Chain A
């Protein structure tokens, strides 16, 4: 196994995740990264980048933002395990010259490499050195393009989806930002929505179909 240029080893990475879990008081199970293959261990910069990008998508408001609850590391884990189809081979037809360099030998894209390059390209340099407003503006443009109706395939869609999954299935996102009620105990079929009512993260039908 080769050691990535960043100096991160699998063990250190897993250890870091466990420390992070301790620091945040969230169960280690939720950020367990012990299984990563060497090839899936991101560089330090990529790890920082995905944490910052997740915060740009879901910033701190009156509830913590995505960076604070470790969403970046969840996305790394999720990408390494192919959640949301991220390890499915990408159809040849949707591979543009811009995407081609990020295609892994086994077919799927390396999403983090793509994201890093895409953001630096948009920034005309080091994305991480831009101020928050500039970062937001650059990311919003990438997002707008990728999420537009009828848009061409973009790896951003899956990354954004995993950021949302990471945040809203965390304890903070699921039970503070949204409402989580494991045992409602009753069914009220028709009640008014009060101003400020939060959606339920525990409405499983809505999670699947909404």
Chain B
């Protein structure tokens, strides 16, 4: 066996890269973690965390002129503000192409911690309605795993991450190992009862979120302070991120080397051994080309970037891209179809309010196409996320009036509204795919080209969601004032996934049931790229559980000498 400097190289430092680094180092492996972006140190580099709007040159709103020039895509993200702009990529420096007729807003965070710093923190288990979906309706390829394969890994991940949530006993959204739930506010609690009375299969429950409701002193993490400014970075370590949780754990082993500003460009494949033999990167600060070797490689660069790297690693032996003997690499990418299905005013709670900023909303888990196929024009599911909230000064922008009376009105806590945003299953389609563009990025690497469109199934699901959201809210005493059934651009759910799908058959899938390449035994892809279907839940928890499972398998294979 070749003598390598590292046992494992992990490409990427986000949710799954951090997890892989932690678990592999804790298993005794010497790990190199490569991150393309800059270093951000926990508690030290969260520059705008505690600033007030009046401390900011553009009051937290940000410089639109700058954003149009350098962040034209990122600025479309609701979480992109003047406070958080340094946690997102500069689009001008990190270009990508969209295929003709495709719309895709690709929200990215290239930095140590990746999008674990800016994520929405929602953590949901998938169920066998999800892992069995492709087999049931014939879209995509059958998942080579089921819930039972993953349940113990969900347990492990939740235990470490710290997920607060309520046990509800729903088969379509299995309960996890939860920290105490954050409570519903008065309107959400009332709506839960009223909707349940009329629709016994539709349950409002609190969003399951990776924000600690109890401190984790052993991890150096305090409980949530209810600021809800998570994407600025949290020095309390109250939400799960690479910086707050996995990186310190990995560092504690003394076996982790982290290199930032390292854009991985290519993997070398040795046709004799059929293994990845080296990882190449560019030091983005100096332009210097570097390389390292390892016994195993974990790709955790983010779904599209992991695929990009494989496509860009074509060789004589693998002319269509590394690990792509099947030819499906890059295909069947997905992103949840999402839109605001309903916004309603809710009368009757004028003298009630809440204190603190709860960093999660509510969820109404999937109720369509469970044991009975009852979707009109769609075979999968959707679920709602949202919540009830009261207005503040920004509502004045829509109100007529000037002067003392107007100021006095804005002074008051605003009326209650309830919002339901729908996320629908994205169907795996061969035509939604990633390819290499002929355009190069500023470092000379071919850009990624994204071809993506939602299809009629997603549109049917969103039409049903709009109708049902309005029916539920109106029946519960709210008054729906608007709702939409057309999805946002691809990418706007920020759940882009697929492209290196898992499957039973090496001829029709890229990865096996251990997130391991069918073609290249020492290559694992454990970020969103591995997904064979999308479900309608937020996917990060499942990525982490699959990563934990793959790390365990890889370590066993190494010990057995299988790889």
Contacts and interface: CB of A to CB of B under 8 A. Distances in A.
Interface residues of B, number: 65
Interface string B47-67: 000101111111111011110
Interface in A72-88: 74, 77-78, 80-85, 87
Contact of A189 (B354, B406, B411, B412): B354
B392 A166 contact: no
Contacts of B65: 80-82, 87
A91 interface: no
Contact of A199 (B54, B227, B392): B392
Interface residues of A, number: 69
Contacts of B55: 27, 29-30
Interface stretch (A93-101, A119-127, A140-148): A140-148
Given A147-B398, A192-B351, A183 B225 contact: yes
A139 B72 CA distance: 35
A122 to B, nearest CB: 14
B395 interface: yes
B414 A144 contact: no
B357 A199 contact: no
A149 to B, nearest CB: 9
Contact of A164 (B357, B393, B412): B393
B58 A187 contact: no
B352 interface: yes
Contact of A210 (B53, B185, B227, B392): B392
A146 to B, nearest CB: 8
Contacts of A110: none
A187 B68 contact: no
Contacts of A74: 59
Contacts of A174: 52-54
Interface centre among A139, A144, A178 (most CB of B within 10 A): A178
Given A61-B407, A87-B64, A165-B61, A207 B394 contact: yes
B352 A81 contact: no
B184 interface: yes
Given A140-B403, A199-B412, A187 B355 contact: yes
A168 B64 contact: no
B404 A61 contact: yes
B398 to A, nearest CB: 7
B456 to A, nearest CB: 30
A205 B412 CA distance: 16
B54 A170 contact: yes
A190 B185 contact: yes
Contacts of B68: 82, 87
Nearest to B401: A143
Interface of B: 50, 52-61, 63-66, 68, 78, 182-186, 189, 224-229, 350-358, 387, 389-404, 406-408, 410-414, 417, 419
Given A80-B65, A174-B52, A183-B225, 16 more contacts: A29-B57, A30-B55, A30-B59, A32-B57, A58-B406, A78-B58, A82-B65, A85-B64, A143-B401, A168-B394, A169-B61, A177-B411, A178-B411, A184-B356, A190-B183, A210-B392
11 contacts: A29-B56, A57-B406, A147-B400, A164-B394, A182-B52, A188-B356, A191-B355, A199-B412, A203-B390, A203-B392, A208-B78
Interface of A: 26-27, 29-30, 32, 56-59, 61, 74, 77-78, 80-85, 87, 136, 139-140, 143-144, 147-148, 157, 160-161, 164-166, 168-171, 173-175, 177-178, 180, 182-193, 197-210
